[in-house]
Structure 1
Amino acid sequence: MNTLQEIQFLDESEIGMISQGHIGCNPSCICEPLRNFSSLNVKAQIVGIDNKESAREVVCDAPYRNRELNLSDVFYANNVGKLDIANANIAHIEEDLLFNAKYLTQIYIRHSRLANIPSQLFNFSNDIQVLDLSFNSISNLNFLSNGQLNKLKVLNLQNNRISSLVLPDVVSLNSLIVFILSNNVIMVQRPLTQYNLPRLKALDLSYNHLESIPSGTFACCSKVELLDLSHNRFEGVQMASFKNLTSLRTLNLDYNQIAHLPNNFLHSLPALEFLHLGHNLLSTFLYEKAMFPSALKDLMLDSNQIKEISVNMSKSLKNLNNLDCIHLDNNSISYLPAHAFRSLLNIEVIGLDVNPISGMDPHAFVELPNLKSIRLTGECYRCRYDMQRKPGEAIPEHAAIIRQDATNCAFPDIIDL
């Protein structure tokens, strides 16, 4: 799952990145004759700009593989709005680099060797809205404590060496909407009490080494809509871990080691629509009380160790009137009882692929008036059922009755009543 694809709220008008000029360097075209960065005037003329001082963008991709690019050589125009440099082997940034950057709003310095960001770097430029320092070697977030990034909307620090989110001082990122920290080495998550993130909508902590989330961790960001905690080391979750996330719509816990879900652990997430619990160690999701929020639309429980589906499942899935899809693929389910899914009146897709299903009751899928698709392949059944009917059109009860001898059916293979 891609965080920036899930949250669609950034556009040219909001970020305000309209370029009036462009100084560019592309290794496949104009970079070849420009191995020496002293020839800035020539570079400006190549891309059709007579006056380098009118440049609104500085873009350079992989001009030097073997030596470090000096940023001061390329970042010289007072009214540059975007600095985009990748694969430039940059290891250092001078703290006065942005001294004349009155119009700078976007900084992209990716795939380099940056380890430390000067704490005073942004003192001269208060309008930064996008900061992408991904694929570097940054180990801490102390540079955020300078208090000069009040207009920052996107902060991308994926693929660095950050091990902790602890800051020396409280930091207010009042405009931040997307915070990406995936593919780091964060091991212990403390409550984010040092952060003030009133507008944050997407937080990506995937591909880290997190084992637990203390109570109140996300109290600073109650507006978050997407939280990605996949590919970590969680063995369990607690209800208090997600307290205050009343706006959360997508929670991704895929690829962890979760073996048990406590009752009502999602009780504090009334807006949750998409829950990813695939590729964990769950053996059951049968609980005495309803545990999933009523707004849930898509429940992903694929690639776990679930062995049984029974009529008692209706207690766990009670009141899920908005649930469209349930994914139980690649589990250990061997039998489908009658009315197994009867509490899911609005279910449209049931995924049961790659299960050792050896038998099912002929009424396993009855009383599901909105069912459109069943995915069912295993040792004894190889079925794909896509119902051809108009949305909302009622189907007779017998239309969901499966023949017991339909071991290699082209769904629907239905008993004639």
Structure 2
Amino acid sequence: MRIVLYGWVEGALDSLMMILFQWLRINRNSGLDEMNLLFRHSKPFAHKIVTLKGMLFLLVLAAFLPSSAIAVGCPTGCICNDETYIVQCEHSKLDVIPITLNPAIQRLVLRNNKIRTVDAAFQFYRDLQYVDLSSNHLINIPTKSFQHQDKLQELHLNKNNLSSVNNKTFQGLKALTVLNLRENLLLELSQGTFSILPKLEELNLGHNQISKIDSLAFHGLPNLRVLYLDDNQLTSVPTPAFPSITNLAELHVGLNGFQYLQDDSFKGLNRLSVLDLSSGGISNISEHGFRGLTTLRNLNLADNRLQQIPTSQLGYLTRLEELTIGQNEYVNLPKGSFKGLTNLRKLDITGAKNLEHIEKGVFSDNMNLETIKLVSNRKLENLEEGALVGLPNLRHLVLRENAFKSLPESVVSWNELRALELTDNPIICDCQLLWLLNLANQKNLTNVQCASPLHLRDRPLKSLTSDDLGCSFNDPSQQVIIVTFCVSATILLAVLGLFLFRYRIKVRDALKDYKFNKRAISRKEHEYQKTFSEDEYTLRTGQLPIKHIPVTEL
């Protein structure tokens, strides 16, 4: 009976407190923030304000202190908007949460202050939907600090000094969807740490010192979609904890101490769409390391220690669309390196310091590729002819900051390409790049600067002419005609030679007959010419031909 009576009295006094603050807001003036100062320097009072004595003390304080001594409202250095119910107190040197704000506020930003703890002040703001306490000096969060925030949806506690949280730390946050604990000092996650947050969708635990995660640490989070565990001290993937979060779509576990991915490392995450394993120190991936990730669309394996492309391991990711795999230690990209990735649309190989060679056929299975980025691979100077041919959907080709001195025209199909970047390569501007000059002028694809010869250094390729490149013929159409003629003549001569060789006996016999007939014809022609000459001579001399009269014997 006493407990019920006490609860009723405390509830009544709580209501009176809200009425009191509304009255104080109506009667506020421009005096100093005495109430906030009192709350700041009376820490026991701050923690007991929810008790009956605390309520009575505050009522007495309000009754006897003149309104000129109580500046209820927006603290110095804050921006308060009573129309949008937003309060921003950034770099305001606050060391406690102010209690004199409008009780109806919905968004409270207290970034970059000196607040050391979450105290009872939150009980006055029950309509809060967004709270940002990042970049403060928070050391701990007392139990039930948020028990009245049943409307709060986002809570940002990143960049503080919190060393531990438990399953009572966030009691009362029934509507919370985003919890940010990044850049704190958390060491481990115990069983059911977040089980009282049934609507949580995004949990950021990155940049802590977490080395241990209980298998039931994420129990009770059926709606969790995004999880950050990057930049911690994990030595292996926390596979046992994944069955509790089967609806997870995005997982970030890079910047840990992984060296090896064992079979079924991500078992239970059958709906995972994004996986970030960058900067994890991974040197080996088991044959079935990615098994089960049938819905994965984005994978980041950059900045690890892979000696070669894990072709067979990646083969499980049949729906993969984006792959980032630069800053590893492979030297060569052989034919079929990305076999099985038929849906791959974007490939990023940036900063592979040892990469020197890319073979023809490396992308033979990746017909849907739209973007290829080969950037800052300082030893990459050999791109085999036809290495990028057969990619009908390729639109963006980025070859920036490599070691290319030239680029063969047959390396890629240029008809559908919309963007080409070749900047910051040691390009030699000679006649071999005439095709690129013409292409650049036609399609405005790229802005290439010459590295050599010396007299063309730093000049844009677009500003040059064919003469500058040392080409013999200025008109490209003439070059095409000449090349076509030469090729045609070569083919014709080859066919003729083959024909003569095959029918050489018949040809020889025909030639013999031709020579014999020619001799006979020559003799007849000679006689004819001789006769004609005599007649012609007779006519020319004006002598009449002598007519022979036959003699008849009597």
Instruction: Output the TM-score relative to the length of structure 2.
Output: 0.58
Task: Answer whether contact 1:357 1:381 (CA < 8 A) is retained.
Answer: no
Q: Deviations over 1:174-210 (max 9, x none)?
A: 1111111122111233334452211111111222222
The answer as to 2:352 corresponding to 1:321 is: no
Q: What residue number does 1:366 align with?
A: 389
Q: After superposing the two structures, state which structure 1 stretch, 278-287 or 353-362, moved more.
A: 353-362
The answer as to 2:268 corresponding to 1:240 is: no
Pick one of 102, 115, 118 that aligns with 1:93.
118
Matched ranges for 1:2-401 at <5 A: 37=36, 40-41=71-72, 43=74, 56-64=85-93, 69-75=95-101, 77-94=102-119, 96-142=120-166, 144=168, 147-167=171-191, 171-288=195-312, 291-313=315-337, 316-318=338-340, 320-331=341-352, 332-353=354-375, 354-376=377-399, 378-381=402-405, 389=415
Identical aligned pairs, as a percentage? 22
Cα RMSD for the two superposed structures: 3.8
- Shift in CA distance, 296/408, structure 1 to aligned 2, threshold 3 Å: farther
| Displacement of 1:296 | 0.7
- CA distance in structure 2 between the partners assigned to 1:290 and 1:132 by the alignment: 36
- Shift in CA distance, 48/335, structure 1 to aligned 2, threshold 3 Å: closer
SS in 1 for 2:89: strand
- CA distance in structure 1 between the partners assigned to 2:172 and 2:253 by the alignment: 29
Task: Answer whether contact 2:33 2:72 (CA < 8 A) is retained.
Answer: no
- CA distance in structure 1 between the partners assigned to 2:257 and 2:98 by the alignment: 42
Task: Answer whether contact 1:232 1:255 (CA < 8 A) is retained.
Answer: yes
Q: Deviations over 1:252-273 (max 9, x none)?
A: 1111211122223222111111
Task: Answer whether contact 1:381 1:407 (CA < 8 A) is retained.
Answer: no
Q: Deviations over 1:345-365 (max 9, x none)?
A: 111223333152343432322
Q: Which runs of no fewer than 5 residues in structure 1 stay unpaired?
A: 1-32, 393-404
- Shift in CA distance, 351/74, structure 1 to aligned 2, threshold 3 Å: same
Task: Answer whether contact 2:336 2:364 (CA < 8 A) is retained.
Answer: no
- Shift in CA distance, 168/302, structure 1 to aligned 2, threshold 3 Å: closer
Q: Deviations over 1:260-292 (max 9, x none)?
A: 222232221111111111111111124456534
- CA distance in structure 2 between the partners assigned to 1:168 and 1:48 by the alignment: 37
Task: Answer whether contact 2:218 2:241 (CA < 8 A) is retained.
Answer: no
- CA distance in structure 1 between the partners assigned to 2:435 and 2:177 by the alignment: 53
- Shift in CA distance, 99/272, structure 1 to aligned 2, threshold 3 Å: same
Instruction: Output the TM-score relative to the length of structure 1.
Output: 0.75
| Displacement of 1:58 | 3.6
- CA distance in structure 2 between the partners assigned to 1:61 and 1:327 by the alignment: 39
Q: Deviations over 1:373-397 (max 9, x none)?
A: 33345334465999764599xxxxx
SS in 2 for 1:99: helix
Q: Partner amino acid for 1:300?
A: T
- Shift in CA distance, 212/108, structure 1 to aligned 2, threshold 3 Å: same
- CA distance in structure 1 between the partners assigned to 2:242 and 2:322 by the alignment: 23
- Structure with higher helix content: 2
Task: Answer whether contact 2:264 2:290 (CA < 8 A) is retained.
Answer: no
- CA distance in structure 1 between the partners assigned to 2:336 and 2:84 by the alignment: 66
Q: Figure out how many residues of one structure are paired with residues of the other and give that number.
A: 365
Larger radius of gyration: 2
- Shift in CA distance, 40/133, structure 1 to aligned 2, threshold 3 Å: farther
- Shift in CA distance, 193/69, structure 1 to aligned 2, threshold 3 Å: closer
Q: Deviations over 1:311-351 (max 9, x none)?
A: 242xx521x22211222233223223222211111112233
Q: What residue number does 1:13 align with?
A: none
- Shift in CA distance, 48/249, structure 1 to aligned 2, threshold 3 Å: closer
Task: Answer whether contact 1:372 1:386 (CA < 8 A) is retained.
Answer: no
Q: Deviations over 1:58-82 (max 9, x none)?
A: 4312222xxx53325445x443323
More relative contact order, 1 or 2 (CA 8 Å, 6+ apart): 1
Q: Partner amino acid for 2:110?
A: I
